[in-house]
């Protein structure tokens, strides 16, 4: 899943919440997605137009 520019980022039904829900479902099904892996996957799913924000969050 990749974030699309203009899509709602957070809040009810937002991209981040949907990604968290998918992580929980995967972990409930037996996956072991830790916080670091999830953060990396989430941040890498944003397009280049978000690079300045993403690079700040990686710091």
7 in a domain, yes or no? no
Q: What is the pLDDT of residue 59?
A: 80
Per-residue pLDDT of the chain (59 residues), as tens digits, is 999 999 999 999 999 999 999 999 999 999 999 999 999 999 999 999 999 999 999 88
Has residue 34 been placed in a domain? yes
Which domain range does residue 51 map to? 15-58
- The answer to whether residue 52 is domain-embedded is yes
pLDDT given at position 23 = 98
How far is Cα 36 from Cα 49, in angstroms, rounded to an integer? 23
Residue 47 within any structural domain of the chain: yes
26 domain-assigned: yes
Cα distances from 31 to residues 12, 23, 28, 36, 50, in angstroms, run 25, 9, 7, 14, 28
DSSP per residue over 1-59, as a string? ----TTS--SSTT-HHHHHHHHHHHHHHTT----HHHHHHHHHHTS-GGGHHHHHHHH-
| Residue 29 covered by a domain | yes
Domain count, the chain: 1
Would 10 be classed as within a structural domain?
no
Look at residue 58 in the predicted model and tell me its pLDDT: 87
């Amino acid at each position: 899943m990749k974030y699309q520019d203009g899509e709602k980022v957070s809040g009810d039904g937002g991209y981040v919440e949907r990604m968290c829900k998918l992580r929980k479902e995967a972990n409930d099904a037996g996956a072991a997605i830790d916080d670091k892996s999830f953060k990396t996957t989430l941040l890498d799913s944003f397009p280049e137009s978000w690079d300045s924000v993403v690079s700040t969050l990686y710091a």
